[in-house]
Amino acid sequence: MAHCIVSEAEALLDREIPVLNKGFVRLVDYMGGDARVVQSARVSYGEGTKSYREDAGLIDYLLRNRHTSPFEQVVLTFHIKLPVFVARQWIRHRTARVNEISGRYSVMKDDFYVPEWSDIALQSADNKQGRGETLETDAAEAVRETMKNGQKDMYAAYIELIDMRVARELARINLPLSVYTEWYWQIDLHNLFHFLELRLDAHAQKEIRLYADTLLMVTKTVAPLCCAAFERYMLGGVAFSKEEFAELQNRLGNGGAGEGAGLTGKALERFEEKLRTGRRT
């Protein structure tokens, strides 16, 4: 079993997995896997000390009870090409080691992200940071053309400044957020799971969710038991506040009198949506 897992992960090393129109995720290197988490938890260095089922049970127990330090023993390094606007959301997760290409030293490539027509949408009426109704095909294509023309003009102006020998650190400053950047991103499994829990959520922007999907797919080849536990207890689990739990107890007939009475208005709506969708709101 271990041999198959290693072979699958090794097969992905240095393979660029496409994301968006010109981006990718590439697994550069990794250290450890399921066995490392188990060994760390048992403070043991010998393989085969327990059965495969017992190892899976231990990993489930650790993640279910948020005993996170053994997962920090597994480290993955990715090479990622992504639009700057995605990178600026991504970098808010300050638990990784990052080295990004510098526009002060390098001439930026003529690589820009343009959404597919099916992803062009109006501003959401009830979500200040999200999309709402999608546009008809012709209107969406018109938006795409506007984006592409703006990118073309901005890049032409950038190259003109470069040709004038204007300092690269100045020439780059008018480039749009849609230009692609690249970085090496190294993170331990515990913090990667936290990143994935947030960025695979339906409320995250679609573009970063696609990168998160790819990261999870790759990580499954390195630590499949850990990823299965992550999907069970973190990605597929829902946490309730004290007031929400009291409301849930009341509905099950287990709560004390009036314990859930304070859950009204928006708080009650969020609770109801959480029960319907299985997602935090």
Q: Helices 34-42 and 52-64: crossing angle, nearest 10°?
A: 80
Q: Tell whether the model's pLDDT for residue 133 goes beyond 70.
A: yes
User: What confidence tier does 49 reach under pLDDT thresholds 50, 70, 90?
Assistant: low
Q: Tell whether the model's pLDDT for residue 44 goes beyond 60.
A: no
As a whole number, the mean pLDDT across the chain is 90
Domain ranges of the chain: 2-105+180-235, 117-174, 242-277
* Separation between Cα atoms, residue 86 and residue 180, nearest integer Å: 9
Architecture of the CATH domain 2-105+180-235: 2-Layer Sandwich (3.30)
> For 268-274, what is the mean pLDDT?
82
Question: How many Cα atoms within 13 Å fall on the side-chain side of residue 114?
Answer: 16
Of the candidates 188, 184, 198, 189, the residue with the CA atom closest to the CA atom of residue 82: 184
- Residue 121 · residue 137 · CB < 8 Å: no
pLDDT recorded at residue 260: 47
User: What confidence tier does 280 reach under pLDDT thresholds 50, 70, 90?
Assistant: low
| pLDDT tens profile 138-163 | 999 999 999 999 999 999 999 999 99
* Separation between Cα atoms, residue 230 and residue 253, nearest integer Å: 31
DSSP 233: I
Of the candidates 36, 42, 26, the residue with the CA atom closest to the CA atom of residue 6: 36
> For 121-126, what is the mean pLDDT?
86
Catalytic: which of 199, 209, 270, 279?
Answer: 199
> For 6-30, what is the mean pLDDT?
93
| pLDDT tens profile 175-206 | 999 999 999 999 999 999 999 999 999 889 99
SS3 30: strand
Between residues 236 and 21, the one the model is more confident about = 21
pLDDT recorded at residue 128: 76
Q: Tell whether the model's pLDDT for residue 1 goes beyond 50.
A: no
Helix extents (H) in the chain: 2-12, 34-42, 52-64, 84-90, 137-163, 168-171, 189-199, 206-222, 224-230, 242-251, 265-277
> For 206-218, what is the mean pLDDT?
98
- Residue 246 · residue 260 · CB < 8 Å: yes
Judge whether 64 counts as a catalytic residue. no
